[in-house]
Amino acid sequence: MNRYDLVVVGAGIHGAGVAQAAAAAGHSVLILEKGSPADGTSSRSSKLIHGGLRYLESGQFHLVRESLLERTLMLRNAPDLVHLVPFYIPVYRGTRRRPWQLRIGLSLYAVLGGFGPGTSFGSVPRSQWDQLDGLDTQDLDAVLVYHDGQTDDAALTRAIVRSAVQLGAEIAAPAEFIAAELEPAGALVTYSVSNQTRSCQAHVLVNAAGPWATQVLERVIPRQQPAAIELVQGTHIVIQGGTHRGVYYVEAPQDGRAVFVMPWHGHTLVGTTETAFRGKPDDVRPLPEEVAYLEAIVRRYFPRYRSDEPLAMLDSFAGLRVLPAAKGGAFGRSRETLLEVDRADRPRVLTIYGGKLTGWRAAAEQTLQRLESALPAARARADTRELPLKPD
Ligand SMILES: Cc1cc2nc3c(=O)[nH]c(=O)nc-3n(C[C@H](O)[C@H](O)[C@H](O)COP(=O)(O)OP(=O)(O)OC[C@H]3O[C@@H](n4cnc5c(N)ncnc54)[C@H](O)[C@@H]3O)c2cc1C
């Protein structure tokens, strides 16, 4: 029977990152993915590599700082996958976040980003407002501009998987994790490939199954207590017609939430919503009321879409955020990654909950640190801060 230092369940960005970090540290790794890499949340995000300006409002300074540092690394290591784009924030007479508040936020963002690449900001002069993709200029008081990163989330995830494989990681896909039995010094892992059951041993099982993490943990014997999390659905729509200048960061007229209107392969990507989700993760789909909510935002800010005709919608997709369970809306809840182990000393199973696309590498390094006592000594092959990532 094959024996690995780590078996990782899920080839989303977190599983890919852990496999890369583990292989770079010299460990043997097997990734199990029930579909293809990035089939889950990691192809259904807003595709932003960002600190998250709005997380300043909920005081998540550590997260913003870490994310901005990771952004700097990705701009250097993955220049064909992550690039800076201008973000425009229009402020109308009735907009809740006023220009002075936004300037304070953007100054803090620059400080937390260590004044690194893309941390400068300013205002778009009134004389250039007509060059902003047809943005509504009625009652417009100011347009602030700063920079953040955009990527192709699925392509980025695949690039990290490839990097892990180049460093020696193995991947089985499609291969579904079926169960794990914890033993004194590791886990006996069972999975299925083309309806055939296979087994292997691992020092540690890393559960990087994103929204499926609780389901995966339920198949671990003895039974592990899952963390108190909630799944919150986020829908995007892609509409015909380009947004070329950059990303527009607007307030939803319905409830004041911040929503992005972004360029995407020559068209416009709009998102996202926040809808409580109670079903099975495989069943997540955009809801008609979410699509209507996003369409109303586009019509509000871009008058060319205001005709009675339905918008030419090219695509819509929904993903699930994994957030700590709490009362109230999802907007202000922590986006930090939560790492849970079965036991503090020599863990045999570690579950990754939540997190962000942007923080994948930092989360992976934290995962390995957490597992240090459980993993055999190994000779490092590379430093993940230096590894280049290339598109397919
Ligand atoms: C709407 C939305 C927008 C977002 N926008 C951004 C953004 O702009 N920027 C940002 O930084 N972050 C963003 N995020 C967060 C980011 O997308 C997620 O944190 C990240 O993609 C989660 O990756 P993951 O690897 O944990 O999970 P997933 O990508 O969901 O990966 C889990 C994988 O596990 C596999 N799996 C499940 N069960 C099994 C099994 N039994 N056996 C084998 N494989 C299994 C699945 O097939 C899947 O591929 C967004 C999230 C959402 C929901």
In the chain, the N- to C-terminal Cα span, in Å, equals 33
Residue 150 has pLDDT above 70, yes or no: yes
Q: Position of tokens 């007229």?
A: 253
Q: What is the mean pLDDT of residues 10-15?
A: 98
For 204-254, how does the pLDDT look when each residue is reduced to its tens digit (9 = 90+)? 999 999 999 999 999 999 999 999 999 999 999 999 987 999 999 999 988
The angle, 0 to 180 degrees and rounded to 10, between the axes of the packed helices 13-24 and 360-370 is 60
Provide the CA 133 distance to its chain's centre, in angstroms: 27
In the chain, CATH 3.30.9.10 covers 229-324
Whole-angstrom distance, CA of residue 255 vs CA of residue 209: 32
Q: What is the mean pLDDT of residues 280-309?
A: 93
Q: What is the mean pLDDT of the chain?
A: 95
Q: What is the pLDDT of residue 307?
A: 80
364 C-alpha to center of ligand 1: Å? 14
Q: Position of tokens 């957030």?
A: 323
Residue 310 has pLDDT above 90, yes or no: no
Q: What is the pLDDT of residue 58?
A: 86
Q: Among 226, 210, 156, 231, which Cα is nearest to 9's?
A: 210
Q: Phi and psi dihedrals of 245, rounded to 5?
A: -70, -35
In the chain, CATH 3.50.50.60 covers 3-42+154-228+335-374
Encode burial over 313-342: b for 16+ CB neighbours within 10 A, e otherwise: beebbbbbbbbeeeeeebeebebbbbbbbb
Name the CATH topology of 3-42+154-228+335-374.
FAD/NAD(P)-binding domain (3.50.50)
* Beta-bridge partners for 88: 145, 248
What top-level class would CATH report for the domain 229-324? alpha beta
From the CB of 51, is ligand 1 less than 6 Å away?
Answer: no
Q: Which atom of ligand 1 is nearest to the CA of 38?
A: 49
322 C-alpha to center of ligand 1: Å? 9
40 C-alpha to center of ligand 1: Å? 5
